[in-house]
Structure 1
Amino acid sequence: MKVILFLALCLYLSYFSEGRKLSRCEFVKIAQSKLNGVAGASTADWVCLVKHESDFNTAAINHNGRSRDYGLFQINSQYWCNDGKTAGATNGCNIDCRSKYIID
């Protein structure tokens, strides 16, 4: 899981400095060059994951009751990032959920 989160953050740093909705083709090119084979997943697996998690929207935010999920990979505020709103959050990646690398 930490490998996936690290890769997601790297993708944000490299490609997603502005919040926008990517086309499927744009994401396929990124996944082919950066993610294919990572964690045993194919490009098709990554495309399917991102389509269903955020619909290729880099600024997606979804509410899960007490926590929220942010960005393409829907990084959760309960475990992986700090959004200042989630009680008892662990912030396992020591990042701000609302940083430009997560939602912009």
Structure 2
Amino acid sequence: MPETDLEAAAEVAERLRLVAADASVPEESGRPVRFTVSIGVSAMVSDGDDIGTLLNAADRALYAAKNAGRNRVQVGALSVPAFGQARCRLSGGRPAAGCRASGA
């Protein structure tokens, strides 16, 4: 999402996750099938970042979300010092993919 910071992108991803969790698709029998999604979010934080680096960070965040229990949004930062540790955390206080744990 061009011109969108990491926090706003994570909020959009969370809204998408909630919509998917509330949706169902009926089987032929009429029984509803429910599903969940895991989403990895990343953002370019410096002029030196490129699309490949961005997608790689988002992919790492996606797999971190799946490994953390699925049905969640995981945020990954490309450059932690430039971006800041505060934005490397998800709800629950766990560090996001590519971020080091801190006491904050």
- Structure 2-normalised TM-score? 0.35
Larger Rg: 2
- Structure 1-normalised TM-score? 0.35
